[in-house]
Amino acid sequence: MSVPGSAGPLPDVAGVRAALATVKDPEIRRPITELDMVADLAVDERGGVDLTVLLTIAACPLRDTLVNDVTAAVRGVPGVTDLRLTLGVMTDDQRTALREKLRGGPGREIPFARPESRTRVYAVASGKGGVGKSTVTVNLAAALAARGLAVGVLDADVYGFSVPRMLGVTGRPTRVGDMILPPQANGVKVISVGMFVDGNTPVVWRGPMLHRALQQFLADVFWGDLDVLLLDLPPGTGDIAISTAQLIPTAELLVVTTPQAAAAEVAERAGAIALQTRQRVVGVVENMAALVLPDGSTLDVFGTGGGDTVAASLSRLTGTDVPVLGRIPLEVGVRTAGDAGVPVVAAEGSSPATDALRQVAAALAARARPLAGVSLGISPAARR
């Protein structure tokens, strides 16, 4: 068949559907055909396409992106002369079905706690506040994303949430039924309690509420298939650290300290909690190491040795090798980048601090994923 008055072939429904399969929902990042968002599709004898696309929610913030992507894909099919696009909205039942499809079932379990999960979960902890946990977390996230990994950050510091600002996330999560879609910035999916409170309202939550909030962020947020999830913990050895261990037993601790002896002592306590919770300590990051002065000399603003002290002490305590994964110098650019919402590793150029941060990211990226529950694909050797 051909279009009247033209020599080209007429498009068919299968061809248009194949084109639509290349369009991803901008928030869920899966093909709209897989998400059952293509409701009606017909092609007439003139090459005109009638198409109804269902939005997940009426107030879909990325609706224009979706419309543009759908239009470009359909118009790109040879022989298509016209597109009559209708936007609809999913019903509650359709949303529930979508949620179950994405989650692989009706439950509200935490995907990272499943034995077959291939996501590495790192909880970034420190004893003292203000040593740079959040700075290290967002920079490692951006550096891992730049290496092509799918990365999420959960800001578990409910009292002092700072991750959205440091990562430049201004969007709010979209709710699809009881599923929460995380906004993304600098290639990283981010969820923070800061996105659910108005302005700078202080959050006054106690242990059980914190536990529930964390559980919800882990179970109800649609993270997709992450390679790495980083949790920015509040300082100290409090409820959130223990909840993390209970909710995701395979989460490993990354301990941040400054070179200062007093900070190192407290960092040891934060790391030692891993003994009680049976978590692994993946390593220590020494932040705020020697500042390089304009004349090239260095100044040990916070002293020296903290990272080594913590690593040695945690190695002894846990009976495993806990390495210092990197030493990040004090640098004005690290602070200004964080204030500007672009992690310094995502900005142009490099410096001793970005080199050190990227080196830590490389060490984490090189680690094998957990193998528990994963089929090794080994078949029995043939008998002779």
Ligand X SMILES: Nc1ncnc2c1ncn2[C@@H]1O[C@H](COP(=O)(O)OP(=O)(O)OP(=O)(O)O)[C@@H](O)[C@H]1O
Annotated binding-site members? 127-134
Binding window for Mg ion (CB under 5 A); candidates: 125-133, 167-175, 202-210, 335-343 = 125-133
Count of chain residues binding Mg ion (CB under 5 A): 2
SS (H, E, C) the chain: CECCCCCCECCCHHHHHHHHCCCECCCCCCECCCCCCEEEEEECCCCEEEEEEEECCCCCCCHHHHHHHHHHHHHCCCCCCEEEEEEEECCHHHHHHHHHHHHCCCCCCCHHHCCCCCCEEEEEECCCCCCCHHHHHHHHHHHHHHCCCCEEEEECCCCCCCHHHHHCCCCCCEEECCEEECCEECCEEEEEHHHCCCCCCCCCCCHHHHHHHHHHHHHCECCCCCCEEEEECCCCCCHHHHHHHHHCCCCEEEEEECCCHHHHHHHHHHHHHHHHHCCCEEEEEEEEECEECCCCCEECCCCCCHHHHHHHHHHHHHCCCCCEEEEEECCHHHHHHHHHCCCHHHCCCCCHHHHHHHHHHHHHHHCCCCCCCCCCCCCCCCCC
| Contact call for residue 335 and ligand X (CB under 6 A) | yes
Question: Buried b vs exposed e over 145-178: b needs ≥16 C-beta within 10 Å?
Answer: bbbebbbbbbbbbbebbbbbbbbbbebebbebbe
Question: For residues 99 and 128, which CB has a smaller minimum distance to Mg ion in the complex?
Answer: 128
Looking at 334, 346, 360, 365, which residue binds ligand X (CB under 6 A)? Answer: 334
User: What values do phi and psi take at 239, rounded to 5?
Assistant: -55, -40
Near ligand X in 271-300, by CB under 6 A: 287-288
The nearer residue to Mg ion, 134 or 184, going by C-beta atoms, is 134
Residue numbers 112-171 binding ligand X by CB under 6 A: 126, 129-135, 157, 160, 162
Q: List the single partner that 60 binds among Mg ion, ligand X, none, CB under 5 to 8 Å by kind.
A: none
**Closest distance between ligand X and the C-beta of residue 246, in Å?**
22
- 358 is an interface residue for ligand X by CB under 6 A: no
Answer for which of 23, 331, 342, 364 binds ligand X (CB under 6 A) is 331
- Which single residue brings its beta carbon nearest to ligand X? 129
Q: Cβ closer to ligand X: 11 or 338?
A: 338
Question: Closest distance between ligand X and the C-beta of residue 328, in Å?
Answer: 5
Minimum Å gap between C-beta 334 and ligand X is 4
Task: Indicate the annotated binding residues for ATP.
Answer: 127-134
Name the binder of 145 from Mg ion, ligand X, none, CB < 5-8 A by kind.
Answer: none
**Which of the choices ligand X, Mg ion, none does residue 309 contact, using the CB cut-off of 5 to 8 A by kind?**
none
Instruction: Give the one residue of 338, 342, 360, 364 binding ligand X; rule: CB under 6 A.
Output: 338
Out of 56, 94, 126, 134, name the contact with Mg ion by CB under 5 A: 134
Nearest CA to 227 out of 118, 111, 115 is that of: 118
Stretch of residues binding Mg ion (CB under 5 A), selected from 127-135, 265-273, 314-322, 354-362: 127-135
Other beta carbons within 10 Å of 321: 10
Q: Which does 79 bind (CB under 5 to 8 A by kind): Mg ion, ligand X, none?
A: none
- What is the closest distance, in whole angstroms, from the C-beta atom of residue 129 to ligand X in the complex? 3
354 binds ligand X per the rule CB under 6 A: no
* CA–CA distance, 39 with 33 (Å, rounded to integer): 9
Gap between the Cα atoms of 291 and 58, Å rounded: 51
Binding residues for Mg ion restricted to 216-235, rule: CB under 5 A: none
Q: Which of ligand X, Mg ion, none has residue 130 at its interface (CB below 5 to 8 Å by kind)? A: ligand X
Q: Which does 192 bind (CB under 5 to 8 A by kind): ligand X, Mg ion, none?
A: none
Binding site for ligand X (CB under 6 A): 126, 129-135, 157, 160, 162, 235, 287-288, 328, 330-331, 334-335, 338, 353
Binding site for Mg ion (CB under 5 A): 133-134
